[in-house]
Structure 1
Amino acid sequence: MSTNPNPGNPVDTGSHPSGQKLINLIRGWPSPSLLAADLLLQSATTALTDPSIYVPGLQYGPDPGYGPLREQLSQWLSEKYAVKPDVERICVTGGASQSIACILQGFTDPVYTRAAWVVAPMYFLAGPIFEDSGFYGTDGRLRGFGEDEEGPDVKELEREIQKMEQQKGADEPTFKHPAPQRKIYRHVIYVVPTCANPSGVTMSLSRRHALVNLARKYNALIISDDVYDFLQWPVTTTPSTSPVPFIKPLPRLTDLDLPLGRSSHDPQDKHFGHAVSNGTFSKLIGPGVRTGWVEAAPNLAYGLSQTGSTRSGGAPSQLVAAMITQLLKSHDVDTHVSTKVRPALQRRHARIVQSIESELGQFSISVRSEGEIGGGVAGGYFVWLTLPDGMSGKEVSERAREEENLVVAEGEMFEVRGDERSPRFPSNLRLCFSWEEEGDVVEGVRRLGRVVKRMKENKGERREGRFGNGDMSGNDISYK
Structure 2
Amino acid sequence: MLKNSLSFPLRDIKIESDGIDLEDLETKWFSTYSIKECEEAKKNQKFLGALYLIPHYHNPTGTELSPKKLFCDDVYNILHYNDKVNRRLFAYDYPKDENYGIGHVISNGTFSKLLSPGLRIGWIEMPLNRKKQFWSESWIMRSGGSVNTYTAGIITELLKDGQVSNLVKEIRVENKAKMEALLMILEDELPKECQILHKPTGSNVTTPIKLPNNLISTNVIAVLRDQHELLVLDGHSFWSGDSNDDSRKTLTNGIRLAVAYPLLDEIIKASHIFCSTIKELLHSK
Cα deviation 1:24-63 (Å, max 9, x = unaligned)? xxxxxxxxxxxxxxxxxxxxxxxxxxxxxxxxxxxxxxxx
Task: Establish whether residue 410 from structure 1 lines up as the match of residue 234 from structure 2.
Answer: yes
Cα deviation 1:218-272 (Å, max 9, x = unaligned)? xxxxxx35121111113xxxxxxxxxxxx35233334324544538xxxxxx812
Structure 1 partner of 2:206: 383
Q: CA RMSD in A?
A: 2.8
330, 343, 357: which is aligned to 2:161? Answer: 330
393, 401, 411: which is aligned to 2:217? Answer: 393
Task: Establish whether residue 368 from structure 1 lines up as the match of residue 216 from structure 2.
Answer: no
TM-score (norm 1): 0.52
How much has 1:169 moved relative to structure 2?
7.6
Structure 1 partner of 2:58: 196
How much has 1:382 moved relative to structure 2?
0.4
Cα deviation 1:195-233 (Å, max 9, x = unaligned)? 11221111111222xx4xxxxxxxxxxxx3512111111
How much has 1:285 moved relative to structure 2?
2.0
Structure 2 partner of 1:256: 92
Measure the CA separation in 2 of the matches of 1:453 and 1:361: 6
Alignment CA distance shift 1:261-1:388 (3 Å): farther
Structure 1 partner of 2:130: 300
SS at match of 1:272: coil
Measure the CA separation in 1 of the matches of 2:262 and 2:226: 19
Measure the CA separation in 2 of the matches of 1:309 and 1:333: 25
SS at match of 2:262: coil
TM-score (norm 2): 0.84
Structure 2 partner of 1:147: 15
Please tell me whether the aligned partners of residues 239 and 252 of structure 2 are also in contact (alpha carbons under 8 angstroms): no
Measure the CA separation in 1 of the matches of 2:164 and 2:155: 8
Measure the CA separation in 2 of the matches of 1:395 and 1:301: 50
Structure 1 partner of 2:32: 164
Please tell me whether the aligned partners of residues 140 and 146 of structure 2 are also in contact (alpha carbons under 8 angstroms): no
Task: Establish whether residue 444 from structure 1 lines up as the match of residue 280 from structure 2.
Answer: no
Q: Percent identity?
A: 25
34, 48, 52: which is aligned to 1:186? Answer: 48
**Higher RCO (CA 8 Å, separation ≥ 6 residues):** 1
SS at match of 1:189: coil
Please tell me whether the aligned partners of residues 290 and 317 of structure 1 are also in contact (alpha carbons under 8 angstroms): yes
The number of residue pairs the alignment matches comes to 276
Alignment CA distance shift 1:262-1:449 (3 Å): same
Measure the CA separation in 2 of the matches of 1:261 and 1:317: 37
SS at match of 1:232: coil
Measure the CA separation in 1 of the matches of 2:196 and 2:269: 18
Measure the CA separation in 2 of the matches of 1:170 and 1:388: 45
User: Which protein shows a greater Rg?
Assistant: 1
- Can you give the 5+ residue segments of structure 2 that lack an aligned partner in the other structure? none
Which deviates further from its counterpart, 314-323 or 405-414? 314-323
177, 183, 188: which is aligned to 1:358? Answer: 188
Alignment CA distance shift 1:355-1:301 (3 Å): farther
Letter in 2 for 1:313: G
Structure 2 partner of 1:206: 68
Measure the CA separation in 2 of the matches of 1:298 and 1:185: 19
How much has 1:439 moved relative to structure 2?
1.8
Alignment CA distance shift 1:257-1:456 (3 Å): same
How much has 1:144 moved relative to structure 2?
1.1
Please tell me whether the aligned partners of residues 132 and 138 of structure 2 are also in contact (alpha carbons under 8 angstroms): no
Measure the CA separation in 1 of the matches of 2:256 and 2:7: 25
Between Structure 1 and Structure 2, the one with more strand by share is: 1
Structure 2 partner of 1:467: none
Q: How does 1:90-109 map to 2 (within 5 A)?
A: none
How much has 1:451 moved relative to structure 2?
2.6
Cα deviation 1:124-162 (Å, max 9, x = unaligned)? xxxx2x1231458xxxx2211112121111111011101
SS at match of 2:279: helix
Between Structure 1 and Structure 2, the one with more helix by share is: 2
How much has 1:415 moved relative to structure 2?
1.0
Structure 1 partner of 2:102: 271
How much has 1:279 moved relative to structure 2?
0.7
Please tell me whether the aligned partners of residues 390 and 427 of structure 1 are also in contact (alpha carbons under 8 angstroms): no
Measure the CA separation in 2 of the matches of 1:313 and 1:258: 35
Please tell me whether the aligned partners of residues 348 and 441 of structure 1 are also in contact (alpha carbons under 8 angstroms): yes
